[in-house]
């Protein structure tokens, strides 16, 4: 059986990993001020976006625009139903985006229309799609997508893989270390999000105290505070190394950075993380942070 996977562009994975494993990416549009960009998970386009628009604090309006139900249906009917027999569609948490809702509704229409498309193309057999809410964001979603790929390689069936990933969505944690609280506070306040309040923002700017944020089971909020970005990064890396040694539910750790990913290896604590991963046969997948993520958390975040 041919099994494929579709993710949205908020899923932080290296471009090389996406291409090598034929992961299909649904782009998300990002509007900053009066200009709109398309996030295709292309590193060069993303770095250009960071440099030209992300640090412009005068731009009061910024938002991400998910694919519509119709766009998702067209992707599946024009391509996925012809290339695969079952497809997993893994989306950013439904608490932050309408992508899951749009994909879920699209899947119902796809099942009712795929037979004619396959018949016309001479493709035999049934087609099915599983839409999964990752219940997390960015690198957390990346871990789950990487696990789908690992299970496909091992010959897992759609039901086995689906059950495993739905279990994993309950146990996936994504942590964020912001470099600057401006974008986090600005975007959160626009959405009515209380993960960063005015007091936290003001004190943080004065004293360089930054929150470590966590996304887990559709909830996002602070789980700790540190003085300085490097201190926070080192704490995250050391804690992750310790968790690797205790044992992970899936043998992947995803890291994304709002800048050149090559810089991540020189950050404090990374050597210990890399050593723990190597000793435990855990893969570290490092990528540039998506436009969709960065427009909410600012450049330089990890």
pTM for this structure? 0.92
pLDDT at 110: 98
Phi, psi of 170 (to 5 degrees): -80, -15
pLDDT at 78: 97
What's the rounded Cα separation, in Å, for the pair 29 and 238? Answer: 35
User: Concatenated DSSP letters for 164-196?
Assistant: HHHHHHTS--EEE--S-HHHHHHHHHHHT--SS
pLDDT at 44: 85
pLDDT at 297: 82
CA distances to 26, 67, 114, 134, 253 from 74, rounded to whole Å, are 11, 11, 11, 22, 33
What size, in residues, is the chain?
302
Angle (CA) 123 40 161, round 5°: 50
Q: Where are the beta strands (DSSP E) in 85-136?
A: 86-91, 128-133
pLDDT at 253: 98
Cβ atoms 142, 12 nearer than 8 A? yes
pLDDT at 167: 98
Pairing mode of beta strands 86-91, 128-133: parallel
Per-residue pLDDT 10s for the chain (302 aa) are 999 999 999 999 999 999 999 999 999 998 887 888 899 999 888 888 877 766 555 555 678 899 999 999 999 999 999 999 999 999 999 998 999 999 999 999 999 999 999 999 999 999 999 999 999 999 999 999 999 999 999 999 999 999 999 999 999 999 999 987 666 656 555 555 555 554 565 655 655 788 899 999 999 988 999 999 999 999 999 999 999 999 999 999 999 999 999 999 999 999 999 999 999 999 999 999 999 888 878 889 99
What's 52's DSSP letter? Answer: I
Cβ atoms 275, 34 nearer than 8 A? no
Pairing mode of beta strands 174-176, 128-133: unpaired
Nearest to 64 by CA among 219, 295, 288, 299: 295
pLDDT at 192: 54
């Amino acid at each position: 059986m041919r099994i494929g996977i579709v993710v949205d562009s908020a899923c932080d994975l290296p471009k090389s990993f996406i291409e090598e494993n034929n992961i299909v990416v649904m782009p998300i549009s990002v509007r900053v001020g009066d200009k709109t960009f398309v996030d295709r998970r292309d590193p060069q386009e993303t770095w250009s976006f960071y440099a030209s628009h992300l640090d412009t604090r005068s731009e009061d309006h910024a938002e991400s625009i998910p694919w519509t139900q119709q766009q998702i249906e067209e992707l599946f009917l024009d391509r996925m139903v012809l290339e695969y027999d079952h497809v997993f569609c893994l989306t950013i948490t439904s608490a932050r985006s309408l992508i899951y809702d749009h994909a879920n509704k699209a899947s119902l229409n796809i099942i009712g229309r795929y037979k004619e498309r396959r018949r016309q193309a001479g493709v035999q057999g049934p087609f099915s799609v599983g839409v999964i809410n990752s219940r997390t964001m960015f690198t957390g979603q990346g871990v789950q997508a990487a696990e789908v790929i690992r299970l496909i390689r091992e010959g897992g069936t759609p039901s086995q893989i689906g059950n495993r990933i739905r279990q994993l969505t309950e146990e996936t944690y994504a942590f964020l270390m912001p470099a600057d609280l401006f974008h986090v506070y600005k975007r959160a306040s626009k959405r009515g999000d209380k993960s960063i309040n005015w007091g936290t923002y003001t004190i943080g700017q004065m004293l360089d105290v930054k929150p470590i944020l966590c996304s887990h089971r559709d909830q996002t909020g602070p789980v700790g505070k540190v003085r300085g970005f490097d201190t926070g990064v080192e704490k995250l890396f050391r804690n992750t190394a310790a968790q690797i040694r205790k044992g992970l539910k899936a043998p992947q750790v995803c890291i994304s950075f709002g800048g050149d990913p090559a810089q991540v290896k020189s950050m404090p604590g990374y050597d210990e993380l890399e050593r723990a991963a190597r000793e435990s046969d855990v893969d570290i997948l490092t990528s540039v942070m998506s436009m969709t993520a960065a427009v909410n958390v600012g450049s330089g975040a990890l």
